[in-house]
Structure 1
Amino acid sequence: MKLSTKGRYGLRALIDLAQYSGEAPVSITSISDRQNISERYLEQLMSMLKKGDLVKSLRGAGGGYVLARDAADISVGDILRALEGSLDPVECSGLNPEEGCQIADSCVTKYVWQRINESINRTVDEIMLDQLVAESRKRGCQDAPDRNICKN
């Protein structure tokens, strides 16, 4: 399975948004500057994340984006599925009886594909956005010249 830039950049953008949207909405420009992602591409990603009910946009002078839910309630799986669609690396019609696979009854490889699909989905669904924010802050503070600024 290989994620596109939509998934990779979108996840980075949402970590940034979760990290910086505590007091006010975050602008596309500020995310773009911190993450080195073009504003035009971020607009497309945010539109997809908005359709996935993961972010809200606020208009006006102090506008920008905020999370639609608490970061503890948003999984990496939620984010990646909003941007990439299904995360299953193997599409096997033998796993879906309504698709009518001709060899589903005798095919044993479908169990391999099922386990791989389940493993990937379980893994991304167990990692929550707030965990990534905490890890980002921890890693950022290790490199900070004055670690006292990172204690909050």
Structure 2
Amino acid sequence: MVISNKSEYALLALLELATCYPSGESLQIREIAALQDIPNRYLEQLLATLRRQGLIKSIRGAKGGYVLARDPRTITVLDAFNCMEGADVAVSNCEPNVNTVESEVIQEVWQEARQAANAVLQKYTLQDLCERRAIRKHKELMYYI
């Protein structure tokens, strides 16, 4: 299973917004783009999709930008993935003719693999990603003598 650039960039943007969530601070497109090295124009499209799907909100004005629409503990990686790729992407990609026993067996195994992947993505929230990032950054700062 491969994560698309679209989903990866969306998760990176959401991660930055999740970091600012406790302070209530909004981030502008150019700030997110610079922090995560995402092209501005592409990020605009991704944020528009995330906003339409209700994961983020836009704030107008000079100090405007984007914020998460809800607590990062309630937004799962699966929510973000489904927002960007569509909830039916896995199903639509593999519904060939199931007219042989072999095809049925393969489809059953593929369905089980999709369910397992979804279970893992559902288990992790944006808050979990923030905490993992903080731990890794803290380890990078440690000096060993």
Give the conservation status (yes or no) of the 8 Å contact 1:3–1:84: no
Match of 2:81 in 1: 80
Q: Work out the CA distance in 2 between the residues paired with 1:103 and 1:41.
A: 43
Match of 1:114 among 111, 116, 123: 111
2:94 maps to a residue whose letter is: E
Contact 1:57 1:64 in 2 (8 A): yes
Map of 1:131 onto structure 2:
128
Give the Å deviation of 1:102.
Answer: 4.6
Where in structure 2 are the equivalents of 1:91-110 lying within 5 Å?
A: 91-92=94-95, 102=99, 107-110=104-107
Which residue does 1:4 correspond to in 2? 4
Residue of structure 1 in register with 2:64 after alignment: 63
Q: CA RMSD in A?
A: 2.4
Task: Check the 8 A contact 1:88/1:117 in 2, yes or no.
Answer: yes
Return the letter of the residue paired with 1:112: V
Give how far 1:3 is off. 2.3
Residue type of the alignment partner of 1:126: K
Q: Which has the higher helix share?
A: 2
- Structure 1: which amino acid aligns with 2:15? I
**For residues 48 and 125 of structure 2, what CA distance do their matches in structure 1 show?**
21
Verify the 8 A CA contact 1:87 1:117 in the aligned structure 2: no
Q: CA deviation at 1:22?
A: 3.0
The answer for unaligned runs of 5 or more in structure 2 is none
Work out whether 1:28 is the aligned partner of 2:25: no
**Post-superposition offset of 1:142:** 2.2
**Contact 2:21–2:71, Cα closer than 8 Å, also in 1:** no
**In structure 2, distance between residues paired with 1:121 and 1:76:** 9
User: Take 1:143 and 1:102, find their aligned partners in 2: how far apart are those partners?
Assistant: 54
Q: How many residue pairs get matched?
A: 140
**2:40 aligned partner:** 39
In the alignment, structure 1 residue 144 sits paired with structure 2 residue 141:
yes
- Displacement after TM superposition at 1:128 (Å): 0.8
TM-score between both structures, scaled by the size of structure 1: 0.81
The alignment-based identity, stated in percent, is 35
Structure 1 gap ranges (5+): 95-100, 147-152
Counterparts in 2 of 1:32 and 1:26: CA distance versus 1, 3 Å: same
**Residue of structure 2 equivalent to 1:150:** none
In 2, the alpha carbon distance for the partners of 1:87 and 1:133 equals 27
